[in-house]
Structure 1
């Protein structure tokens, strides 16, 4: 079979690419020898002073302003404002894992969770009995149907608070556990 010069080049190029992409990585794993022999950087010099930077102190989410949040790598002014708006809707963060509930398109929040702390005593608890339907509906954990159930119970019992919601099983248990820190 006769092959043209361009076909020969293509076959050679394809075989080199297969070798580089599939064969070499497998061969380097089998020997457990790194492909590039780089030594790790020294963590201290001869004087005993550590050259690595200490980790910054964690940021408290319930008191942080946007200028504090922007100091974290990966969080710009847009993401900082999203975090603050969500904190206002919630009434405060109960745990740093609640940041996962915010949609971050280009940020992996899991890698940053260790940089945050939360003081649950700073959560602003709201009184369900004095709130309007629209105000309760703005809470991110409550859907329209949940708020309807709450206000039906308010009409039935004359007043409403978290202990009534819990004792009368107005909402499912998982929702009650989620909203417990936010309502009196």
Structure 2
């Protein structure tokens, strides 16, 4: 195995990625099936995930894809209320990723749309898709708002807002008075339209 591929596997694992069966290695970008076949005998992971029947206590074997399909219908949770236990139920999310999702959510003030999950560092698209099969958004009431006409510079913090832009917004408020709506913020030259659109759900007037 090339060193860069080994490093990629270790990096995936360090971000919270979990290998539950041999075939999970194929989820690594550029990991070829031919290479997988060469290494398969040396990988100390099950090729399938065992399940146990409650009726006769004999082991029944199903592929992981079948297991995931069964689990999909068994649980749902609210993305803005979930704890690490909820997130770790999702295939592909371990303790580190669960904590990272929650930290990002708290910094935001809550998720307002599903695409924000793709902004979580280390959360790849396949895991996001699996997460969205179980996680639901509760609505705008679950979002923490920033009172734009009362907030101080020390309090004005948000992942979408650079400190110098926050300072410009409050300087404009001091010069021109209270903001009546998000439209008033368009007059702040350092605040571009894309940032304002992302920030708007978190502002209260």
Give matches, 1:82-121, under 5 Å: 82-104=100-122, 108-112=126-130, 113-121=132-140
The runs of 5 or more residues in structure 1 that have no matched partner are: 1-20, 22-50
Q: Kindly tell me: are residues 153 and 169 of structure 1, through their superposed partners in 2, closer, same or farther at Cα, counting changes over 3 Å?
A: closer
Q: Which residue of 2 aligns with 1:174?
A: 194
- Asked if structure 2 preserves the Cα contact closer than 8 Å seen for 1:93 and 1:118, the reply is yes
Pick one of 135, 145, 166 that aligns with 1:125.
145
1:130 counterpart SS class: coil
The runs of 5 or more residues in structure 2 that have no matched partner are: 1-33, 35-66
Higher helix proportion = 1
TM-score (norm 2): 0.56
Q: Deviations over 1:96-131 (max 9, x none)?
A: 210111111678434323332212321121202222
2:112 counterpart SS class: coil
Aligned length: 134
- Structure whose alpha-carbon radius of gyration is higher: 1
Q: Deviations over 1:60-107 (max 9, x none)?
A: 111111111111122122111111111111111011210111111678
Q: Kindly tell me: are residues 166 and 154 of structure 1, through their superposed partners in 2, closer, same or farther at Cα, counting changes over 3 Å?
A: closer
